Structures are given as structure tokens and as C-alpha cells.
Chains A and B, each alone.
Chain A
């Protein structure tokens, strides 16, 4: 793609801020509807699965089925009837472990800062 600034510099007209605001509100309304629908549809269909049923995720998933020859993307092999998010916290212990890890890294960082402060020469 070319550098955007080239042609915009040649543009002489300016933009009416009020009209722009109205346009932005229209766009925001469209996007709001999209985000709400995305939330709904994601309960039954993985959001990485495109309309051709290819998986667009950049990570590995057990539902991926290797594509045929010449196909860059893998196919999503899930039956599509599920709320995939319910699977994310199947082990309640993970939650507590994450909480402990956050507390530990915070304590560690505070201790390190305190040590550095004590070790640094006074102004």
C-alpha cells in the first residue's frame, strides 16, 4: 500500500467538524450493533471461524483440521453447538493460581524497588 499522506496533502477542502461528528456517530452505531451481535454469535460459533469454516486463529486449537493441498488455513472441525467460553475455566484451580501469581509478582516487584531504593545513594 502507498503512503497515505501523499494525496491528502493535495486535498484542498476541509472537513466540517460537526458533519464529521455526525458521520462518526453513524459509524459508531453500526459498530455497536456489530459488537453486540459478535458477543451473541460467539456463544455458539467460534469467532475465529470464518464464513468458509476456515480457522483464522494464529494459535493451535484442537478443533483445527488440516486443510487440503494448497489451502493456507485449517478448517474448523467443531460441530458449532457450544459456548466455547465455558471451557476456558474448566479447572477452577487455574483461577486461584493466576490470582496467587499476580500477588507474588506484585510483591516481588515492590521488594525489588524497595531494595533498589535502599541501595541507591541519597541525593
Chain B
């Protein structure tokens, strides 16, 4: 090994503490980056394979009833490669061990062979067989949450008749990756299950022999989806079609995509910030490290080493650190990613599981780190070799210290000599002070960002489940009912309050942009289901016009006072021009509300309601559930508490775990940065401090000077870091603003306190290490080797 390479190895060994800190900082940034991108790539790959292998349909349409022969006409639509017709029916379930009524979705399948699309993947048991009544496949999520096995039975109300369903197989379907029922926000595997039943039997139960009410299509590569949707709508409309949708609007797919896009927001934003900050820190740390070797660089130059030789020497050192850091970060990141991918795959119940470590992710991580390291090194070397070697070896001229601002203001009598030294030092080397402050502030900011996600989600939960939705139970009727139904519900046991609503499926259109959604008609100032704006103020339902969520208004490009076209997709399918009377900000899917009377008028109906929100005395919940289960009129009961539990569980599994990783790595980075800042300050000033010791300062006094500086810089950095963190959170909010979900910019004081505490603890620990080093400062050698 060449002598100069030996120097590198020994230098590295000599600063192993700092080197380790740099490696850990870098590895942390890389780990988060690799973890997130790898998880995302693996999930996307798994999803695509799943869709492909189990032939997830491209187009979905529901209608009231159409003869099976209509399939031939549908197949003639240009671009359609396969057509599958079926019957889909919602039923109330009575599941052993579940107090409240469950909801089942029954989907017909051919008895003799698997369907050509949305193929159920058998996880256990067997497929349904012809001629055996009551046989069904059940979705795995539902089966697992009730511990159902092939051979078990579940009772269901089919078209008003109680009938046992005999489970013969457990299945998964790409159509129900998220088994979530219409109108709900979150999957609820306990109360909602998907069942596949032979066509003949299901048709018999619902009087649908020779007919279908649902059709799915596969498209070929040349298909023009909007055109297919348009033509399909035209074909199905006479049969009560409520509008075909593509994958993008399919509920499960949309939620998976939404999860992915949130994951992507996290996967791209957080790690990119981590990596950028890490790159900056690497740059600063390497730069300062090299500055402390100014004399050695000058000596090397004096012997005839060129700038290029010296640059190469330090680049090798940096590269060694970078390569170790990137390798470590990649390993840890890939390991965490495989765990996360497995967790997500289980969460999404993908029957196929892929783990891919995209080489370009690693290459990108390496490239950015190398560039950052080299940039820092290069500028430091340029600075170090700008002076002729003779001058670089000469002791630095006494810097032009000046009285600080405080002293110029005449406040020096309040400052001790040590404090004056600290302040003058900071003022004289503002660049170094600035870099230290910036580094610590960035690390603090990342801690804020890491925790912010949870603050935002807590806020949304509070907003959604406690301030906005105050009902306990939502009861939906099979058919729109009269006011009498409301009174019946009101008289059920334990019901303290009941509030009617009239929901209607509609297409809201402005120009060529449209969205299909349910418009919810509410009383003018509902007590239970309250529509709130971003300031948590209740939005009153105006007697006329529609109130849109801000996101929907943005999509439709309308403002209050403009008009939208509402195409109702039920009954007589009226089309109305409706004024936009208000816009409110919210955090979930695009939504639209009207006064209940306005909906009724639009539908030319009397006193109808499609369901009611109930406030229920919790003691009576079980009695209420029992009653509701036996009420044929009730199609759907959703319990807010249950939804909230599911939502929180979902969070714990995914977001919280990822957040924990982010916070962990942010903490490592924070420690690494603070420690390095302290060590570099020590290296830069050891000569000066030794001189002070020689002229009679005590260890405590010189520690005070160095640690005092660190303290001041840390204290300045923390508030800046908190502000920076808030800014990052704001940026994250912008990036994660999707059509189906947004996050409010809310940072709790606990998050700020956590970030500040970690930084302070890191500073105290680093201070102790530096203090120990100061105690062992070799006065003689420090003074002897230089002037």
C-alpha cells in the first residue's frame, strides 16, 4: 500500500468516532430512501402480477336487470376483448359471534368453471360445484376475522328469506383487494364479506334467471376506454344501468392506488428530504474535516504532490465512507423493505409476493451520496490549496476579532470573558457557525417531519370521527322509504336521536369534467352528521344548490355561484342544472351535499329518505343490532366505532411502523450531526484551547468555551429546526394532496417537544464526549507541532 493510502486508512481510524457518525448519518438517509422505494416497487410489481394473473377486469357496470343475451351486443363494442355477466347482490348477514348485522356481497360465478375475469384465487377448500345448494366461497379477510373454515355456515337474508350459506372455499379476488362496501371509508373485515355463489342458485334466489345485473369487461390494447364506457352506458341505460366505470373508479382499485400514492408520497418525499439533508451534511462534515488538515495539505503540496493527487487522496477517503454508508444503508433499507413489503402484501392479501430491489434506486442513492461527498471535499480542497503552500503552513494570521454587537451596544459588563470569547468566535467565523446551526436545524426538522404524519392523521380522525360525524350508527334502507321509517327507527331501543338523509348516485359534470359520486341530502343543520369546513365550522345546507368539497370544486373548476350539471343515476334519471352554493375544505374523497328537500325536489319525490344517522345509548347497542338484523327494510348498518377501530388498526400496522423507522433514522442523523459538529469544533480549536490551558485556564473553563459555543448554536438551531420541520410538513402536505385524501398541516406541540428533546439529548451526549477529549488534551504536542 502506498504511504499516502496508509495515511488515509490511519486518518480514518484516528477519527473512527466521527467516521462512524458520518457513516450512520449517510446510512440512515440511504436506508429510508431504499426502504421506501423498494417497498413501493415491490408492491407495484406484486399488484401488477396479481391483476395480470387473475385477470382483473378493466370496466365495471351495474344495472337493474338485463337478459344475458345483451352480452353479445356488449361484446361488439370496439376494444372489448372479453365480457362476463353476473349477478351481484347485497345481503344482511347473521354471523355467529357478531352482535351487529354484517353485510355480505354475493357475486355469481359459473358453477362449472372459474369466471374469465376477476378470478377468485382459492386459499383453501374447493370451488363451488353444480347441483349443491347453498355452496359459497368466502373472502379470506372475512373468513379470518370470524375464523371461518370450509364446512362452516353463515346465515344470510337473501331477498327477504333467511338462508344458510355453506362455505366450501376461502378465496381472494383482485376485485376486492380492499373489501370495502360502497359508502364507507375504510375496509371493515369483520362486518363486510364477499361471497361467490353459483349463478343458478343466486339467480333463483333473486328471480334473475337468464339475466344479470353486473357486467365486467376486459379491453384490448387498442381500446379507447372513455369511448367504451360511453357505448356501454348507451347499451345498459334502458336496463337501469347506473353508469360504467373504469379501473380508476373501481372502489378497491382506487383505494389500493390511493394507498400506493400515499406510500409513494412518503416513499418519495421523506427519503428525498432525508437524502438531500444527508447529502448536505456529508458535504459540510467532509468540508470541515478537510479544513482541519490544512497544514498537512500544505506539507504534501510542498513535497510536490499536486492538487489533483491531494484531491484524489481525500476523495478516496470520502468514497470509502460513502461506499460503506451506502452499502450499510442499502442492506438495512432492503431488509426493512422486505419486512414492510411482506406486511403490506399481507395487508393487501396479495396471493403473489414479489420483492424487487430496483438497481436504479441503489445507483441513485450511491450517485447522490458520491456527488455530495465529492462536492464537499472538492470545495474544501480548493479552499485548502488556494493559498501558496508557504502561506498555508504559516500559522494563520491573527483573525480580526472585533467586539461583538452586544459589546458594541455597551452590554459587555454583563458578559464574562468566556462568554465574550464564545460570542466573538461565533461572530468571527459566521460561516462555520452557520453550517453548524444549519446542520443541527436540518436534523431537528427531520424529526418534526418524521412525527408530523401522526399529528395529521390524529387531527383527521378527530375531525372526521368526533367533530364531524357524531352519529354512532348509520342505517341504510333497501329502498328509499317514507317518513314513517324514520319514526320506526327513532323508536328502536336506545336511539336518542335520528336524522334522515337522502343519498343519490349521480354524475356531477362541469364542461367535459365529471365525477360519479353519491350526493347526500341532509337537513339544513344536522346535529349528528355535520359537514365542517377546515376551520371546523359547520356548513349549513342551503335550501337550494349543492355544496362541494374543495377538492371536487377544484376538479370541476367551479366556484360558488357557478352551475354544475347533476345527472341522477337512479329512477327517472333526471338531469338538472344546479348552482354551487358553497365549497368546504375536507380531508377525504370528493363529496357533495345538498339540502334533503332539494334532493327530494330534484328527484320529484315526497318525504323520502334512504337512511338515517342514529345517536345510540351505548348500553342498548347490542339490542339495537339484534333488532336491525331482523329488519328486512334495513340493507346496511355501519357502526362508526367499528370503522374507527379498523382505521386505527390500519394506521398502527402501516403508517406507524414506517413513521417509527423514519423517526429512528432522523434520531440517528441528529446524533451524528451534533456529534460531528462538536468534534470538528474541537479539532478546529484544540490549539487555541490548549494555549488557554497553558496560560492557566482550568479544564472547566476551556470546556465552557467550547461547549458554551455548542450550546448557543444548538439553542439557536432548535427553533430554526422546528420552523424548518413545519415547512417540510407543509411541503409534505402539498405532495400528499391526492384526490381521495389530503392531510392538514397540523404539528402538535408534542412533536416539537420530541424533536427539541432529541436534539438537546444529542447535544448533551456529544458535549460529554468532547468534554472527555478536552480533559485529555495534550498541551505539549498541540503547542509544539505548530506555532
- A and B are interacting partners: no
